[in-house]
Structures are given as C-alpha cells and as structure tokens.
Amino acid sequence: MSIRPRILLTRRWTREVEQHLASLYDVTRNEHDVPMTADELRKAMREHDVLCPTVTDRIDAAVLGVADRRVRLIGNFGVGINHIDLAAAKQHDIRVTNTPDVLTETTADLAILLLLMATRRAGEGERELRAGRWTGWRPTHLMGQGLAGKTLGLVGFGRIAQVTARKAHLAFGMKIAYHSRRRAAADIEAGTGAHFYASLDELVATADVISLHCPGGAETFHLIDAPRLARMKPTAVLINTARGPVVDEAALVAALGEMRIAAAGLDVYEEEPRVHPGLLALQNAVLLPHLGSATEETRTAMGMRVAANLAAFFAGRPLQDAVC
C-alpha cells in the first residue's frame, strides 16, 4: 500500500476543495477553524509534508526552522505572502506557492464596492435606516460624491489594480492614475488611459479616490502616513483592499475624524481581527472584515490553485505559482 503525502490545512476550505484534497492526500483539517498557535504550527511542520496556511497564520523563522521538520512545501491559500518569512523558507530549502490570478476580478469588485459605498455614504445610510432615524427624502440628505470624470489613483499597478482601473474607467467614467515601482507597458496604460506618477506624493495630492494595491511587508509599512494623508484633497476617499499596515491607522482615524479627508473604505486592518476603536466610532469609514476574495467560486478556485501546486510538487514538475 502506498503511503499518501500528509498535508495540513490551517483553516477550513470549501467543501469541494477539501473533498478533492482528501481523495489524493492524507489531510489534517483544523476542525475548529480558529488560528493555530505557534506551537501547533511547529508540531504540524514536523508531522506533515505540506503546510497550507492563510493570512491568519504567522509562518516565521521559528516555525520554518523547527527541528526535525518534515514539511517541504508551503502551499499558501491566498495571493499575499507577507505573513511568511520567505528568507527563512529559502534558508531551509522550503518551497512556497501562492494563488494569484484566480482572485483578481473578485478582489477588484470589492475595491469597487468600497469605492461606491464610501463615495455614496452607503454605510451611513444603512445605519441610519436600521436605527429608525430616517425621516424621509430631502434634497440635502446624505449627499455623496459622483465618480464620472474624477481621478482614481492606484497605489501599485499589478493585476488587481489594473482590473479595478478597468472597472472604474469603463463603468463609471473615472480617469486613471497610478504609482508603482515600475511603469507599466504602454499597451496596459492605453487600456484605461492610465497616467503614471513617479511620485506617490503627487499622486495622492491629485487623486479624488486613492486605492491601495501594493503588497504588505516592511517596504510598504505605513506608506500612507500622516504627511501623505495631509497631502490628500479634503474631498479625497481612501480605499484599502491590500494590507492593513500599509496605512497608519491612528493617523487615518485623526484625518477622518477632523474631516481632513472625506471618507475611507477599508477591508484590511493593521492588527486583524482587531479594528482600531477610533475607526469603529467614525461615520465616514466603511469597514468590511477582509472579504476581498470571499465568493464561493473564488475561494474554491483558490483552493484548486493550491491543489494544482501540490500536484506539480509531488510529480516533480515546475511549480506555476512558486514565490520561492
């Protein structure tokens, strides 16, 4: 009897993917679906061939460098990998894969949802109505901002940012501007007439809506800080579907509270699942619980993408989504 590889899923995945993986591997599921402790992760590293974590797991040097380690592949469920110490993974010769492409449209949809909710004050409206405070239609009630002809400034111009740009440009007539480390190819810019800003400071001062799409990690920590918030227009709206620590949350609370910018739409937070109490108290902050890729189809596609990487790994084929 052949022995099947042992894989561990740190959280519950969709039924379809769990069944698929169980048909191929000896799968350990985290039945309680709460984040595993560092001790549990280290133990799992000793007992499995593959660890499949998510953004809620801290896969640091202590986890990766555990003695008597058996894991040879980290198959991350998600595209962002700033919760994994890639340098330590390389040092220990552990391969790491992620799940790009399959969540691009869904996450861009959520950026657009936040953009609409924040500019049209949808959260405020729903809270007012549910609290029984709505007194009826009137010309000056909860006026928001229109989008046509306004400038959407994207910070980072990878797949999700490009699709967000396309949706905002084609559906709402927004002008597109972006800042990223590398300027995009001319044909990509031409699709939405995107204008490149070499200076992030200039982009944030020009844009009406600023949407963050850069990776997390040390390089982008507090990229949007108090001075950059101060450069934004008083009517500006900030959208974050990237990673919480890209924004200095305390500085954002101050800017929103003093109406130095108009609104924010956030899906990610500095210390998830904790949300800054100042944000919770603000009417002009739309707050979602990290739902960027949360559709049935996309979460299944993400799991199947992990499965494809595992299949390639065990067949000795190149890993299509290798990040190290």
CB of 216 to ligand DGY, least distance (A): 9
- Cβ distance to ligand DGY smaller for residue 160 or 261: 160
Contact between 73 and 313 under an 8 Å Cβ cutoff? The reply is yes
CB of 9 to ligand DGY, least distance (A): 14
CA torsion, ordered 85, 87, 89, 93, to nearest 10 deg: 180
Q: Which of 95, 120, 121, 290 is catalytic?
A: 290
Residue 243 appears among annotated catalytic residues: yes
Pairing of β 175-179 and β 73-75: unpaired
- Cβ distance to ligand DGY smaller for residue 249 or 321: 321
Residue 272 appears among annotated catalytic residues: yes
Interface residues toward ligand DGY, by CB under 6 A: 54-55, 78-80, 103, 292-293
- Cβ distance to ligand DGY smaller for residue 164 or 293: 293
- Cβ distance to ligand DGY smaller for residue 35 or 125: 35
Contact between 224 and 253 under an 8 Å Cβ cutoff? The reply is no
Compute the C-alpha angle 198/199/205, nearest 5°.
130
Q: Which of 243, 276, 299, 305 is catalytic?
A: 243
Report how far residue 46's alpha carbon sits from residue 225's, in angstroms, rounded to the nearest whole number.
41
Report how far residue 274's alpha carbon sits from residue 114's, in angstroms, rounded to the nearest whole number.
20
CB of 293 to ligand DGY, least distance (A): 5
Helices (H) and strands (E) in the chain, counts: 13, 12
In eight-state DSSP terms, residue 246 is: G
CB of 286 to ligand DGY, least distance (A): 18
The residue with its CB nearest to ligand DGY is: 78
What is the set of active-site residues?
A: 243, 272, 290
